[in-house]
Amino acid sequence: MSTSLRLGVAEFRARPGRALLPGVALVVGVACLLAALVLSDALSRSIDEGTPLTPPSVGHVVEVKPQPFDSDVPEAARPKLDDALLGTLSAVGRAVPVQVARADLLDANGRAGQERAEVNVQQPDLVRWPLEEGRQPAADGEVAVDKITAFERGLEPGDEVSLAAADGKPVTVTVSGVLKKGGVDSRPILVAGPGLATKLDPQPLTKQIWVIGGARDAVKAAAGASYAVWDPDPDADKVGDDLTFVLLPFSILALATAVFVAAATFRAVYAQRQRQTALLRCIGAQRGPLVRRSLFEALLTGVAAGIGGALLGGPMAWVLARTFDVTGISVLFGAVELSPRLLPSLGYVILGVVVAAILSVVAAVRPAVNAARVSPLAALRDADNEVPKRSVRRLRLVFGLLFTGVAAVLALAAIAAKGTSGAPLAVTFSAIAAVTGVFWILGPVTVPFLARLFGRIGGTHWKLAGAEVRRMPQRSASVALPLLLASSMVTFFLVLLGTAQELTYSFANEERPDATVVDAGERALPPIPAQDGVAASVVLHKAENGSGADPEEFRTWLKAQNVAGAEQLAAGTAVVPSEWDDKPFIESDGKQYKVVGTVPGTLTGYTPILGGQTSGPAEKVLVALKDGTDPARFRAGLQAALPNNPTVIVRTDADERAEAERYMHLGTVLMMVLLGLSVAVAVTGIGTALTISVQERRKELALRRALGVTRGGLQGGVIAEAVMLALVGVLGGGALGFGYAVVAILSIGIPLVLPAVSVVFPLVIGAVAVVALAVVAAFGPSRGASRIRPAAGLASG
């Protein structure tokens, strides 16, 4: 063992750069792991700090017991947290309802938004919402706002905002404080006292009842069997480490990629010193000590990589946090301006060192064992290429074709079993078999073949780069495999997201009103003034089991929307959503309406239309616009015509598409950022492979310089090799990912809708970014190649 240790230390002293080279990918992989952990800590901390707390004086919490899904008890007969229960519980102790009201937060133009604000009612002596700055609302004219609303609107304590009261009239209030809580996806959260909350919403929702004082048995007896009574847990609503599992899988994927890259680099490093190993075998060294030497070197490499990755994890987490803020992903989690620690804790440093050391040893085991099997006669041979024996090539071909055939059979089976639970499993195992067969086992054949294709489209540098890839096919395949896997996953998920986006567009474009006029707080609509660009409109009136409408107006509007199904609608009859086509009658206000047609539910909000029932308050106006009319201009004109009705809003068909596009865009960005971690790790393999390649080809590069090739020419050749390997990984992985995305779509049973430019563009940008990263990774090796002096290079051994 001592001999192995001395040999390992001697290798580090003699060639520290080469010994540490396999750890470059592990540095990035560990940095990704710790960045995910540090960012998750910041995200969890941001959310947990804003979680409402149960005041310590509250002894018991009363809630309604959950009803079974198949319960046939009508809604009116179900238990409620009402005033009667409050009165009963007040006989035991102080009973306080925990209520949530709904209100409309007006913007700078005095108009309500599409999303209503959640107003949490807080008693002055029972504070439960932590503040980031300012103070708790103490008067009826004060509110506290969530931190995202404050950030987006630039609000600070002391500023004024406008809310719409229950009657729709504006109410100006003062911002007393900013909550640590953030509204999820920009949905405002407010905290107000009972007086203001009642003015905004006379019928708030009671979620719980707090009981202060009294024994638990007495509270249970007073509440009755229909209610659950429990003691409050201060940490009941804490997110804790749950958000870690959102980012952790992607960092583990990056670590797995780092292991692939490190294993390929270890293999190349051990091949470089094949002659040294053979000489040690000649003088009596056994395989065991040689393997232990290599593993000890790998252990030292992993420790160094773990320390480097730990130091890099904080800055990487900060970059990810800023990316999430800029793209709007943070808002989806209810956070903004995340501040991850730049320096990780000691525990994270130890975790990074341990993980890197273990993975480094794991990555080095197989290359170390193979290197120790070298024959002593290898000291007399040169190792300028990696041409395996014919029997090995034949065995590789057999197993590669076998795995490829299994992948094809599983893909066809997945398509044949579409819609079943076994189809996704078949797709997964098919993809694993395809990667194993085509790019792992047959990688030394597939990668040089692709490189040969690229070599035909370029000049001399490209041809020389292709020759180098073919000279070391095993190494080239090992370098391209991690990048290929990362690229295939990015393409796979983006194509699936793009298909979902296209289907969402189809759904959003399918038979919807051009514009819908409603009140944000479901108040009765005022008379709607006539507007330019309107082809037809119909007013829907509130009814017991549907919406009433004038039959002629509804038919005219439906005709303007180019939709059939209500031609027979008349007074006393009904038209129902297509999903309700099994209902022959609709009952409303004690009257029976015969169903005479169906229309898509997306047109009417999935509510039956009752012909002639126009006595109720107007709740909605459906509008069909003339061709060429701008929906945004229609909205602006209508709102300008209703200055005294700030809560009247217009929802357009374009809004539906924009909302769907926004969520798909955020999903695309999130996938590209998180899967991009694996791509970044994979690209480091190109840099390390080129570094080793330049070291091996010193004589060749020196000869090129002696023959008149300029330094720029040598640099261009190395960079061309990096670009070629990047293109092999990106395009090969892209083709594989696209193919399996199509198989997955067919196996699910949804229509095959190929993604549009909105998905192709990010893929092209990603491919360009990968090539650019490969060029950056090749900068160091190319500089080293250009500095080789002809005389010194030709004289080197």
Q: What is the pLDDT of residues 107-142, one digit of tens each?
A: 888 899 888 899 999 998 899 999 999 999 988 889
What per-residue confidence (pLDDT) applies to 160?
94
Dig out the tokens for 665 from the structure. 């865009």
On the question of pLDDT at 792 being above 80, the answer is no
What per-residue confidence (pLDDT) applies to 350?
93
On the question of pLDDT at 286 being above 80, the answer is no
Please indicate, yes or no, whether residues 686 and 777 belong to a single structural domain of this protein. Answer: yes
- Whether residue 85 is contained in a domain is answered as yes
Percent of the chain with pLDDT over 70: 88
CA distance 645 to 666: 34
What integer is the mean pLDDT of 779-790? 82
Instruction: Report the number of distinct structural domains present in the chain.
Output: 4
On the question of pLDDT at 553 being above 80, the answer is yes
DSSP annotation of 112 reads: B
Please indicate, yes or no, whether residues 96 and 46 belong to a single structural domain of this protein. Answer: no
What per-residue confidence (pLDDT) applies to 386?
52
Please indicate, yes or no, whether residues 67 and 171 belong to a single structural domain of this protein. Answer: yes
Of the three residues 622, 646, 670, the one that is the final residue of a domain is 646
Q: At 4, is the pLDDT very low, low, confident or very high (cuts 50, 70, 90)?
A: low
On the question of pLDDT at 387 being above 60, the answer is no
Please indicate, yes or no, whether residues 121 and 252 belong to a single structural domain of this protein. Answer: no
Please check whether residue 669 is in contact with residue 517, taking contact to mean a CB–CB distance below 8 angstroms: no
- 452-487 pLDDT, tens digit per residue, is 777 666 677 777 777 777 777 877 787 788 888 888
Please indicate, yes or no, whether residues 634 and 776 belong to a single structural domain of this protein. Answer: no
- 148-179 pLDDT, tens digit per residue, is 999 889 999 999 999 999 988 999 999 999 99
- Whether residue 414 is contained in a domain is answered as no
Please indicate, yes or no, whether residues 74 and 30 belong to a single structural domain of this protein. Answer: no
Cβ contacts of residue 274 below 8 Å, gap of 6+? 371, 374, 378, 383
Please check whether residue 617 is in contact with residue 510, taking contact to mean a CB–CB distance below 8 angstroms: no
DSSP annotation of 441 reads: I
CA distance 178 to 191: 10
CA distance 750 to 239: 35
Q: At 706, is the pLDDT very low, low, confident or very high (cuts 50, 70, 90)?
A: confident
Please indicate, yes or no, whether residues 262 and 357 belong to a single structural domain of this protein. Answer: yes
Lowest mean pLDDT among 48-62, 300-314, 328-342: 328-342
What per-residue confidence (pLDDT) applies to 507?
54
What integer is the mean pLDDT of 696-716? 80
* C-alpha to C-alpha distances, 7 to 257, 274, 283, 296, 373, nearest whole angstrom: 29, 15, 14, 9, 17
On the question of pLDDT at 557 being above 50, the answer is yes
Give the containing element (helix H, strand E) for 389: none
647 or 14, higher pLDDT: 647
Lowest mean pLDDT among 61-65, 362-366, 705-709, 755-759: 755-759
Please check whether residue 786 is in contact with residue 715, taking contact to mean a CB–CB distance below 8 angstroms: yes
What per-residue confidence (pLDDT) applies to 189?
93
What per-residue confidence (pLDDT) applies to 145?
95
On the question of pLDDT at 791 being above 70, the answer is no
Q: At 235, is the pLDDT very low, low, confident or very high (cuts 50, 70, 90)?
A: low
CA distance 117 to 197: 12
What integer is the mean pLDDT of 727-732? 87
Q: At 277, is the pLDDT very low, low, confident or very high (cuts 50, 70, 90)?
A: confident
pTM for this predicted structure: 0.75
Please indicate, yes or no, whether residues 682 and 757 belong to a single structural domain of this protein. Answer: yes
Least Cα distance to 289 among 275, 307, 277, 299 occurs for 277
On the question of pLDDT at 601 being above 80, the answer is yes
Please indicate, yes or no, whether residues 597 and 734 belong to a single structural domain of this protein. Answer: no
The 10 Å Cβ neighbour count of residue 261 is 30
- Whether residue 327 is contained in a domain is answered as yes
Of the three residues 169, 200, 230, the one that is the final residue of a domain is 230
Cβ contacts of residue 488 below 8 Å, gap of 6+? 431, 435, 733, 734, 736, 737, 740
What integer is the mean pLDDT of 252-279? 80
On the question of pLDDT at 144 being above 80, the answer is yes
Lowest mean pLDDT among 569-573, 627-631, 670-674, 751-755: 751-755
331 or 284, higher pLDDT: 331
Amino acid (one-letter) located at 53: L
Please indicate, yes or no, whether residues 278 and 247 belong to a single structural domain of this protein. Answer: yes
Of the three residues 184, 208, 230, the one that is the final residue of a domain is 230
CA dihedral 538, 540, 541, 546 (to 10 degrees): 140
**How does the average pLDDT of the chain come out, rounded?**
83
CA distance 320 to 33: 12
- Whether residue 425 is contained in a domain is answered as no
Q: At 383, is the pLDDT very low, low, confident or very high (cuts 50, 70, 90)?
A: very low
- Whether residue 236 is contained in a domain is answered as no
What per-residue confidence (pLDDT) applies to 552?
94
- Whether residue 237 is contained in a domain is answered as no
Cβ contacts of residue 64 below 8 Å, gap of 6+? 78, 79, 80, 81, 226, 227, 228
Please check whether residue 89 is in contact with residue 222, taking contact to mean a CB–CB distance below 8 angstroms: yes
Please indicate, yes or no, whether residues 633 and 776 belong to a single structural domain of this protein. Answer: no
CA dihedral 672, 677, 682, 684 (to 10 degrees): 130
What integer is the mean pLDDT of 208-230? 89
Q: Please name every residue paired with 144 in a beta bridge, in sequence order, or none if there are none.
A: 177, 191
Domain that holds residue 250: 1-51+243-383
Please indicate, yes or no, whether residues 193 and 66 belong to a single structural domain of this protein. Answer: yes
> Within 13 Å of residue 594, how many CA atoms lie on the same side as its CB?
6
On the question of pLDDT at 428 being above 90, the answer is no
Dig out the tokens for 300 from the structure. 């030292």
What per-residue confidence (pLDDT) applies to 237?
52
Question: Cα-flanking dihedrals φ and ψ of residue 621, to 5°?
Answer: -125, 120
CA distance 210 to 441: 65
Beta strands in 168-289, from DSSP E residues, in sequence order? 170-179, 189-192, 205-212, 227-230
- 18-35 pLDDT, tens digit per residue, is 667 788 888 988 998 898
What per-residue confidence (pLDDT) applies to 115?
85
CA distance 670 to 660: 15
What integer is the mean pLDDT of 76-95? 86
- Whether residue 675 is contained in a domain is answered as yes
Q: Please name every residue paired with 143 in a beta bridge, in sequence order, or none if there are none.
A: 175, 192
- Whether residue 567 is contained in a domain is answered as yes
Q: At 40, is the pLDDT very low, low, confident or very high (cuts 50, 70, 90)?
A: confident
Q: Please name every residue paired with 62 in a beta bridge, in sequence order, or none if there are none.
A: 209, 229
> Which of 426-440, 488-502, 689-703 is predicted most confidently?
426-440
Q: At 647, is the pLDDT very low, low, confident or very high (cuts 50, 70, 90)?
A: very high
On the question of pLDDT at 236 being above 70, the answer is no
648 or 285, higher pLDDT: 648
236 or 440, higher pLDDT: 440
What integer is the mean pLDDT of 420-449? 84
- 490-524 pLDDT, tens digit per residue, is 888 888 877 776 666 555 456 788 899 999 988 99
